[in-house]
Structure 1
Amino acid sequence: MKLHYQLNIAFTTLLLVILSVTGFIIYSLILDLLIQDEQRQLEQKGEILVSVLNQEFDDRQNTQQFREFLQDQDLQLFMFDRQGSRVLYSTMPSQIARGFVATNDFSDENEPLWEYGNDKYVTSRILFYPESAGLELILLTPLNDLQAVQHNFFVRLLVVFLIGAAAAVILSYIFTNKLVTPLTRLKKQLKKIEKRQFDQIEPIKATGEIKEVEQSVFEMADELQQYMKTQQAFFQNASHELKTPLMTIQGYAEGIRDRVFDKEDEEKGLEVMVTEVKRLKTIINEMILLAKLDSEQSVYHPKRIEVASLVNQVLDRTLPLKNEKHVLIHYSSEPGVTLYADEEKLLQALLNVTVNAIRHAHSLVNISVKKSNEVTTIVVEDDGEGITKDLLPHIFHRFVKGNNGETGLGLAISRAIVEQSNGTISVETSDYGGAKFVLTFS
């Protein structure tokens, strides 16, 4: 079932439950309110009657006029003598009056409803003055009249509820349609991403969280497109990098087999073949390492390491190359800086960056380590010619080589290791004129 219908069904069900519970409560309460209101009205009428009777018929002598006056009021009532516990007079027919007397306890003052046959009556009791006389006027109203009012009120309330529910359902349909439509359009864009139709992706109009999802989807599509392009470039570059040494080896091998070289060229060819095999082996090993770094978490064994010790190992291993290039390495670090990372892998990443800096430096490489607000920064910069602007955005991609580069995988490996160590690596132009690599860990 579509989300649009699910939301409408859920909202309608919830609305019906709320209206049903509300209607039931109102239906139950309205009768009690009507009974209380009717009792108040009967009490007011009774008090007026008692007041008139006390004033006009105080002597109680003219019994006939007294009864005629009560009969003219068109009320259902009893005149009850508390002291004698007997009914003195009633405006009802004698048979009905006797039925009331037989069915109900007139001395019970707390009973609000009396019964006669299948009907119920609301009662209100008013004492004559003085109270010591023990005379009481009891007025009655059929409950059926109040139930009719209750029913009439509930029917009107039901009509209002139905109109409100219909309006709410229509509004729900409009709003859910407004909510679901962007999701439906977003689904179509995802289908385009699934089919790799990145050029046909279109933005959609949305607000709130859906807009954030839409932005995330488009960012994901851009990343996926860039990744696919990078993978394409990787395979193209990899095939080229592997093909070149293989063709060289094949050419010299066929020449030696066919004896087209003299002895001196043959020895030279064998040396070239050995060199190319070593180069091919290096490329393959780095490709395997890079694949493991991207896909296997088990190759990482993080622990707490001293950054100063790590940099000292880098300085020791780059000493021969530094002396060969006649480059001065200046190193500065804050004391006690530590990182939680795989020491061997991070050493390789920092070594790749430092070797790259030494190769391109004219005379100076600067390594500095700083820590601020739980963020550790390692900076490696040189005074060489730097990285060209067109190469700068792609320097960490696979098989991207600058001048004097070897396999084009060293910086890609460094980036993979740094990112797996919860860090980032970036490159910019150094104040010394060369490249500046910044490794940040938090």
Structure 2
Amino acid sequence: MIKINLTKRIWLAFVSLIVLVVLSITIVYPLSIRGTLTEETYRLIENDVRQLLSGENDYFPFQPGFYQAREQRSTVSYSFRLSEAGVSYIDPRLVPPYEVNNEIVQNALEQKGQHGRYETTIDEQTLFYVITKISDSQFLVTYMWDTYRDEMVNRLWERLLYLLLLASALSLFPAIWLKHYLRQPLAVLENHLEQIANRNWQEPLRWEGDKDFERLSYQFERMRQNLNSYDRAQKTFIQHASHELKTPIMVIKSYSQSVKDGILPKENLEQTMDVITEEANRMERRVIDMLYYTKLDQMKKDQLNVGPFPFGKLAYQIEERFRYQRDDVTISVEGAEVIVEADIEQCEVLLENLVENGLRYAKHRLYIRAEQDERNCYLIVENEGEPIDADLTKLFNPFYKGNKGKFGLGLAIVKQIAELHRGSARVENIDDGVRFTITLPKTIKPKPIEPKRKERRKEAKADKKER
């Protein structure tokens, strides 16, 4: 396919349209106009016949001869009578040549009705004639050359040519206007796209005028804002990730150097190495969380393994897993019979993060509960303790930290998993603690995720094995 710019496309379309119109007229016009003028010629002949028969005209003596009529573009009438002696004419000078006259007489004899239309060719010109039957033996012949028709065709052709030239000249103005009309917004869009290609998406795009270009500019502006937000989020993520990894690395580095220098920061070597191991595990958990979180968007390319399962099947496993992390907190499971429609492995990661977060602040009890209504299923993790003194709307943001919280990605992962199931996550302070509620629709049209389930499970649970 030949690649040409917009201006050339407009002019090519304009020229093609003109050529198409000219070709259409060249082909269709001669056929239609000649047929129309031929009909008009017969109409003129028949009109003269009616006037002649009605007595309005009596111009037999004043008519030109057969060949002279061709130059004067007029009708000529003559009559002939058939008898046993042959054919007799009133004015022989009006009679066509012998071959043509024989054809006329033969057509008259074969004619059924009172009037008949005929045509013949003489010296590459057409002769139109009408035979009128006056009696069984007398006929009136009125003829006319094609001179009148051809002159009218040529005259109309000449006028049509002028009109085409004028229309082509006038059509240049809308073509030029269309070129500028399309080029201006496209040039603005091209400039902004060039800026985005250079990672400069700070300048907004606003176009007022044509509705189509307004919609295009609106979609472009949405893209620019999303890119800008993504860029800020990426930079923030890198900053927080660097901060999260910096502290354990510094601890490991300082303790390792102390051991190398023969200085034990703790009472003995074992305790010192325990600190290094704990910080290494902490750093490992952060890396696993970051890898899992960054993979969530890529997981939308494949399908979730959604299926029904009883809530208790998952909840009791998590309760057993976290039962001995805090002896002073009792974990209770409610709504074990509720059927949940979701990806069970994703829900396991979701509940683990919520329970781990709740145990960090619970005083005496923590509840893992499932509820349902006609449309949704609700997974609830509720703990007794102090309310959250922070902006609850930002709690699910990556690395967001409340007044007494910790930096992390656990709640951000919870939100991502809920949204993958077309659901939502929310948190609220209640009278005696904090409640996290995950809403999952019963009829799920899941977003696609990555099918590497064993790898995801291993990454999501690696930090749990260390606890």
TM-score tier after normalising by the smaller chain length: 0.7 to 0.9
The 1:396–1:314 alpha-carbon spacing in structure 2 relative to 1, beyond 3 Å, is farther
| 8 Å CA contact retained: 1:386, 1:435 | no
| 1:425 pairs with 2:427 | no
Please give the alpha-carbon distance, in whole angstroms, between the structure 2 residues aligned to 1:336 and 1:201.
Answer: 48
Please give the alpha-carbon distance, in whole angstroms, between the structure 2 residues aligned to 1:82 and 1:352.
Answer: 120
Please give the alpha-carbon distance, in whole angstroms, between the structure 1 residues aligned to 2:377 and 2:93.
Answer: 100
**TM-score when scaled to structure 2?**
0.75
Please give the alpha-carbon distance, in whole angstroms, between the structure 2 residues aligned to 1:33 and 1:289.
Answer: 82
- Which residue is 1:134 aligned to? 137
The 1:34–1:387 alpha-carbon spacing in structure 2 relative to 1, beyond 3 Å, is farther
- Which residue is 1:286 aligned to? 289
Report SS of the residue matched to 1:112: strand
- Which residue is 1:410 aligned to? 410
* Deviates most, 71-80 or 232-241: 71-80
Deviation at 1:425, TM superposition (A): 3.2
Deviation at 1:208, TM superposition (A): 3.4
Please give the alpha-carbon distance, in whole angstroms, between the structure 1 residues aligned to 2:159 and 2:328.
Answer: 97
- Which residue is 1:61 aligned to? none
Gaps of 5+ in 1: 57-64
- Which residue is 2:453 aligned to? none
- Which residue is 1:346 aligned to? 347
- Which residue is 2:36 aligned to? 33
The 1:44–1:325 alpha-carbon spacing in structure 2 relative to 1, beyond 3 Å, is farther
| 8 Å CA contact retained: 2:381, 2:436 | yes
- Which residue is 1:88 aligned to? 89
* Deviates most, 298-307 or 117-126: 298-307
The 1:378–1:208 alpha-carbon spacing in structure 2 relative to 1, beyond 3 Å, is farther
Please give the alpha-carbon distance, in whole angstroms, between the structure 1 residues aligned to 2:358 and 2:80.
Answer: 116
* Deviates most, 8-17 or 139-148: 8-17
Deviation at 1:105, TM superposition (A): 6.5
- Which residue is 2:390 aligned to? 388
Deviation at 1:265, TM superposition (A): 5.2
Report SS of the residue matched to 2:288: helix
1:125-274 matches, cutoff 5 A: 125-128=131-134, 131=135, 133-261=136-264, 264=267, 266-274=269-277
Please give the alpha-carbon distance, in whole angstroms, between the structure 2 residues aligned to 1:82 and 1:319.
Answer: 129
Deviation at 1:81, TM superposition (A): 3.9
Amino acid at match of 1:124: V
String of CA shifts for 1:64-122, please: whole Å, max 9, x gaps. Answer: x995376799742332446778462457556x543532566641656632222121122
Deviation at 1:434, TM superposition (A): 4.2
- Which residue is 2:127 aligned to? 121
The 1:210–1:436 alpha-carbon spacing in structure 2 relative to 1, beyond 3 Å, is farther
Please give the alpha-carbon distance, in whole angstroms, between the structure 2 residues aligned to 1:92 and 1:334.
Answer: 119
Please give the alpha-carbon distance, in whole angstroms, between the structure 1 residues aligned to 2:169 and 2:59.
Answer: 59
Deviation at 1:427, TM superposition (A): 3.3
Report SS of the residue matched to 1:77: strand
Report SS of the residue matched to 1:200: coil
Amino acid at match of 2:390: T
Please give the alpha-carbon distance, in whole angstroms, between the structure 1 residues aligned to 2:302 and 2:55.
Answer: 106
Deviation at 1:21, TM superposition (A): 1.5
* Deviates most, 162-171 or 189-198: 162-171
Report SS of the residue matched to 2:426: strand
Amino acid at match of 1:350: L
- Which residue is 2:101 aligned to? 101
Amino acid at match of 2:357: N
Report SS of the residue matched to 2:400: coil
The 1:370–1:216 alpha-carbon spacing in structure 2 relative to 1, beyond 3 Å, is farther
Amino acid at match of 1:409: L
Please give the alpha-carbon distance, in whole angstroms, between the structure 1 residues aligned to 2:215 and 2:98.
Answer: 80
| 8 Å CA contact retained: 2:306, 2:341 | no
String of CA shifts for 1:380-434, please: whole Å, max 9, x gaps. Answer: 5667523623x7347332x333355455121232334344x34243435456584
String of CA shifts for 1:276-298, please: whole Å, max 9, x gaps. Answer: 11111211222233344333568
Please give the alpha-carbon distance, in whole angstroms, between the structure 1 residues aligned to 2:295 and 2:274.
Answer: 32
Amino acid at match of 2:426: V
| 8 Å CA contact retained: 2:350, 2:417 | yes
* Deviates most, 158-167 or 356-365: 356-365
Deviation at 1:369, TM superposition (A): 4.1
**TM-score when scaled to structure 1?**
0.79
Amino acid at match of 1:251: S
- Which residue is 2:77 aligned to? 77
The 1:150–1:385 alpha-carbon spacing in structure 2 relative to 1, beyond 3 Å, is same
| 8 Å CA contact retained: 2:366, 2:383 | yes
* Deviates most, 69-78 or 173-182: 69-78
Please give the alpha-carbon distance, in whole angstroms, between the structure 2 residues aligned to 1:298 and 1:153.
Answer: 67
The 1:135–1:230 alpha-carbon spacing in structure 2 relative to 1, beyond 3 Å, is same
| 8 Å CA contact retained: 1:337, 1:371 | no
Please give the alpha-carbon distance, in whole angstroms, between the structure 2 residues aligned to 1:82 and 1:372.
Answer: 105
Gaps of 5+ in 2: 445-467
Report SS of the residue matched to 1:353: helix
String of CA shifts for 1:116-142, please: whole Å, max 9, x gaps. Answer: 2121122223232xx3x3322221221
Deviation at 1:334, TM superposition (A): 9.4
